[in-house]
Amino acid sequence: MAKGEAPWLLLIHQIPKDPAYLRVKVGRRLAAVGAVALKNSVYVLPNRDTCREDFSWVRREIVDGGGEAAVFEAVALEGVSREDLERMFREARAEDYQELNEKVGLLESRARSTVPPGRQAAQAEVARIEERLGEIERIDFVSQPEARIARDR
């Protein structure tokens, strides 16, 4: 981010009641890109090229589904400090890392007590966990200490 550039991107949307699946689809997409909710229809991401592209895709899905959406740059968010936003991002990713670490713990105990065919299944699960870890790290905008713990396991 260049000096003087707005540090945040906001996606503000209005989604029609029908089709109902659109709300679920948009909610899942926003979670997948790491956006955090400021209000019901207001989401924030850091102002980065990848985040701008993610919000553009979500905006397009909303508009194509009959809703309205816009992406804005924001220098300041009244009533929400930078520390508040970083805490929100940290909390969102902490849940992801905790879930992943729980899966790793179960997999470790299963791998120790499993005969060779079960080990092959465990290896496939390890590959899925590593892929999920990469996804979480991509949207970990505040570099969680839990990331190192998950990576080291």
pLDDT tens profile 87-131: 999 998 988 888 888 888 877 776 666 566 666 777 778 788 888
Phi, psi for 150 (deg, rounded to 5): -65, -45
Q: Residue 150 corresponds to which amino acid?
A: A
Strand partners, 73: 9
The 8-class DSSP code of residue 25 comes to H
Under 8 Å between Cβ of 72 and 104: no
pLDDT at site 29: 96
Q: Using the predicted structure, report yes or no on whether residue 12 has a pLDDT greater than 90.
A: yes
Give CB contacts under 8 A, 24+ apart, made by 90-93: 90/142, 90/144, 92/34, 92/36, 93/34, 93/136, 93/139, 93/140, 93/141, 93/142, 93/144, 93/146, 93/147
**pLDDT of 43 higher than 80:** yes
Question: Quick one: what percent of the chain has pLDDT higher than 90?
Answer: 44
Q: Please state the rounded mean pLDDT for residues 131-139.
A: 88
pLDDT at 13: 97
Residue 118: predicted pLDDT: 67
pTM, whole model, 2 decimals? 0.78
pLDDT averaged over the chain? 85
